[in-house]
Amino acid sequence: MAVASVTNGCNRLFLVAYDILESENIEFWTWVYPSVEHRTCVRHMHKNSKKKFHGESLQRSVWAAARSYKVRGYNTAIEDIKSINIRAYNLIEDLGKKLEIWNISQFNIVCKCDYITNNISESFNAWVAEARERPVLDILDTIRQKIVVTMDKRRRMPTKWKDDIVPSVKKYVRNLSRGLATYEVRHCSDSKAEVSYKGQRCEVLLTYGIWSCRKWQVSRIPCVHAMAFIFNIRGAKWEEYIDLYFLVEKLGLPTTCRLLLFLTLTNGLEMVNWMVYFLYCQGDQLED
Ligand SMILES: [Zn+2]
């Protein structure tokens, strides 16, 4: 079985399609979207590499490389890996040759999602675990029933929320705002600033939604530098800089799902977690 799912503004699973396939082949892999970015799950990579390569500093550098939004940070971590263990470095180079992407610095910014693990596929597996040992048609019907119930819950969930922005983003901003006083903001114009913190500078351009640390571009949530600038502008409201994906009123719409597509495969009775993500690169559909 193949399952394609995306995440919504609350990081909840949203199923797009599921199907029973005769076998895994090229036709299958190009079934969902033919020309897309493939991501490799860093948690799986980490688990596999721990069996071959030991040492905390190596593992730390692998995660640092994966989590870096900028190429410079990625390159620094990769140089560290090279100096710690050349074999681990060579394996990473091989991934690059296969066009498997596992670090945020290389992520396509169309997808609006900075996930480096496929935890959401694991969630799906747990969700359908009870149906796994049933005959095929029963599995499909159980999933259908679960989808109906879940969609109904999702539809009603926002009615309990008092704000316009989803709770996870509100919490993110609340946590960020506590430390903003330590950021130094130099206004260059109404929409441009240089934000410094502990000797590191970041350029923020509000008009085009560009933050030189790249977090906003990749995740669609303003980074700490952007927030420091927005909080520094008299009368500015941070809510106005939050993407439509995180608005409660848009939450139930499939077009506002963040466009990261996860594939989960079931092989016979055994669930197989693929480490490959397919990224839906169809561009923005939010204008309608
Ligand atoms: Zn930033």
Q: From ligand 1's centre to the CA of 6, what distance in Å?
A: 26
DSSP track, 153-206: HHHHGGGG--SSB-HHHHHHHHHHHTTGGGSEEEESSSSEEEEEETTEEEEEET
141 & 187 share domain:
no
pLDDT at 79 over 90: yes
**Is 226 within the bounds of a domain?**
yes
* 174-213 confidence digits (pLDDT tens): 999 898 999 999 999 988 999 999 988 888 988 776 667 8
Between 29-38, 70-79, 184-193, 235-244, the lowest mean confidence (pLDDT) is in: 29-38
* 221-238 confidence digits (pLDDT tens): 888 999 999 999 989 888
199 & 255 share domain:
no
Q: From ligand 1's centre to the CA of 29, what distance in Å?
A: 35
**Is 269 within the bounds of a domain?**
yes
pLDDT at 268 over 50: no
**Is 171 within the bounds of a domain?**
no
- pLDDT band at residue 76 using 50, 70 and 90 as cut-offs: very high
252 & 241 share domain:
no
Percent of the chain with pLDDT over 90: 19
The predicted model gives 75-95 an average pLDDT of: 89
**Is 288 within the bounds of a domain?**
no
25 & 140 share domain:
yes
65 & 24 share domain:
no
Per DSSP, the three-state class of 7 is strand
In the block, tokens 């309608």 appear at: 288
Q: From ligand 1's centre to the CA of 194, what distance in Å?
A: 10
pLDDT at 254 over 70: no
Q: Which of 239, 223, 280, 288 is nearest to 257 (CA)?
A: 280
Q: From ligand 1's centre to the CA of 68, what distance in Å?
A: 12
Q: From ligand 1's centre to the CA of 121, what distance in Å?
A: 29
236 & 267 share domain:
no
* 14-24 confidence digits (pLDDT tens): 777 777 766 66
The predicted model gives 234-248 an average pLDDT of: 84
Output the furthest CA–CA distance in the chain (Å, rounded): 65
DSSP-derived secondary structure letter, 68: -
- pLDDT band at residue 27 using 50, 70 and 90 as cut-offs: low
Report yes or no: 239 and 260 within 8 Å, Cβ to Cβ. no
pLDDT of residue 146: 84
Q: What angle do CA 125, 131, 135 make, to 5 degrees?
A: 125
Q: From ligand 1's centre to the CA of 197, what distance in Å?
A: 10
252 & 142 share domain:
yes
Ion ligand 1 neighbours (CB, 5 A) are 202, 211, 213, 223, 225
Q: From ligand 1's centre to the CA of 230, what distance in Å?
A: 12
DSSP-derived secondary structure letter, 105: G
pLDDT of residue 67: 92
pLDDT of residue 255: 47
**Is 169 within the bounds of a domain?**
no
Residue, of 12 and 104, whose pLDDT is higher? 104
**Stated pTM of the model:** 0.73
State which residues form the domain around 228. Answer: 178-245
**Is 287 within the bounds of a domain?**
no
112 & 153 share domain:
yes
Q: From ligand 1's centre to the CA of 277, what distance in Å?
A: 26
**Is 230 within the bounds of a domain?**
yes
pLDDT at 262 over 70: no
pLDDT of residue 240: 87
* 155-169 confidence digits (pLDDT tens): 777 777 888 888 888
- pLDDT band at residue 32 using 50, 70 and 90 as cut-offs: low
270: left (phi over 0), alpha (psi -120 to 50) or beta: beta
Q: From ligand 1's centre to the CA of 126, what distance in Å?
A: 35
Q: From ligand 1's centre to the CA of 214, what distance in Å?
A: 6
pLDDT of residue 24: 60
Report which listed range, 90-94, 236-240, 254-258, is most confident: 236-240
Residue, of 120 and 43, whose pLDDT is higher? 43
Q: From ligand 1's centre to the CA of 103, what distance in Å?
A: 17
- pLDDT band at residue 84 using 50, 70 and 90 as cut-offs: very high
68 & 194 share domain:
no
18 CB neighbour count, 10 Å cutoff? 19
207 & 87 share domain:
no
**Is 128 within the bounds of a domain?**
yes
pLDDT of residue 25: 62
284 CB neighbour count, 10 Å cutoff? 11
15 & 152 share domain:
yes
Count up the domains in the chain and report the number.
3
Q: From ligand 1's centre to the CA of 262, what distance in Å?
A: 27
pLDDT at 284 over 60: no
137 & 258 share domain:
yes
Between 79-88, 98-107, 217-226, the lowest mean confidence (pLDDT) is in: 98-107
